[in-house]
Amino acid sequence: MRIGVIGSGALGLFYGGLLQRAGHDVHFLLRRDYQSITLSGLKVTSPRGDFHLQQVKGYRNSTEIGPIDLVLIGLKTYANQSLIELVSPLVSDETTILTLQNGLGNEELLATAFTAEQIVGGVAFLCCNRGEPGTVHHLDQGSIRIAEFAQKPGSRLEALSKTFNQAGIPCTTGSDLTRIRWEKLVWNIPFNGLCALTGLPTNQLLSGPETRQLITEIMQEVIAAANQQGLSEAIDATATIEPMLQTTAGMGAYRPSMMIDRQQGAPLELAAIYANPLQQAARTKTPMPRTAMLHAILQATEPPTS
């Protein structure tokens, strides 16, 4: 399969690297890693086994890639104003577009420029950070869950899942993309925001009774809002929250992406992870006071844009 990766950060490089290692023809749109990767290849460290791809097809401009079979989008959502421009040169009538971006609104944005039936959405449960240029450190997790955006699940979804699984990327499919995205927000909303604001990794937040209780309360209100969005099946707070906390505790001193972005002076994904869910909740008159407060503080502490 000919695959183009738009958003070659930790997620894009890790999944794209695994797909290339499995024999697929992968093309990476690169920024900071361009020189290092095109000269020396891509290095991946992982508890599942390190590997090095000596030859990697990297580009500075997506027009150089041309039409492909699968667009894999890992672009940070704060850069979504460029998303259509970056993806367009890769898309033909036969192209499938898969976004693994955080939050809400990404598929809807893509559908303004491409056929809705071409779009697949998904979420990644991945602990992965970039190291020095050309290096990605996979720490834990790595599974993805995907669903169709505008058509019923069928052979295409199963074929995509098979492709990922054969590449060593655990992948499952679902029939309710809205539910899948809100389930990820149950984790993203408390941990990304609180870690970014406090500068503390996930294990330190969980070790304090007060902060653990706050995380739990935020998760409860996210689930309450999710369950007003017409899901095919309600999210069970009891069955979701404690296992999620236990899994996170097992990840050790993990720094979520928003915490790393703040430490590096990058923008935060506030619209997709906070503003859009808050707007969805407001439409159903579902209060999310803790989430709204977290969003307000994150906004207030963002540096002014020039």
* Domain around 192: 178-300
158 and 211 in a single domain? The answer is: no
| Greatest CA separation for the chain | 54
Tell which residue, 60, 57, 19, 51, has the closest CA to residue 37: 57
Please count the structural domains in the chain: 2
94 and 190 in a single domain? The answer is: no
Identify the active-site residue in 57, 76, 152, 184: 184
In a domain, residue 24? The reply is yes
198 and 154 in a single domain? The answer is: no
Residue 174: CB partners within 8 Å, gap ≥ 6?
145, 146, 147, 153, 180
Residue 151 is predicted with a pLDDT of: 86
Q: What is the pTM of this model?
A: 0.95
Average pLDDT over residues 152-170: 96
155 and 256 in a single domain? The answer is: no
Q: CATH number, domain at 41? A: 3.40.50.720
- Please report the sign of the dihedral spanned by the C-alpha atoms of residue 32, residue 262, residue 48, residue 186: negative
Residue 237 is predicted with a pLDDT of: 97
269 and 227 in a single domain? The answer is: yes
Span 199-241, pLDDT tens digits: 999 999 999 999 999 999 999 999 999 999 999 999 999 999 9
In a domain, residue 118? The reply is yes
Q: Is residue 7 pLDDT above 90, yes or no?
A: yes
pLDDT averaged over the chain? 96
d(C-alpha 66, C-alpha 56), whole Å? 16
Cα torsion 238, 244, 246, 247 to 10°: value is 150
Tell which residue, 205, 235, 126, has the closest CA to residue 170: 126
In a domain, residue 306? The reply is no
Active site residue 184: yes
pLDDT band at 306 (very low <50, low <70, confident <90, very high): low
Span 21-75, pLDDT tens digits: 999 999 999 998 999 999 999 999 999 999 999 999 999 999 999 999 999 999 9
d(C-alpha 182, C-alpha 184), whole Å? 5
232 and 102 in a single domain? The answer is: no
In a domain, residue 305? The reply is no
239 and 269 in a single domain? The answer is: yes
Span 120-145, pLDDT tens digits: 999 999 999 999 999 999 999 999 99
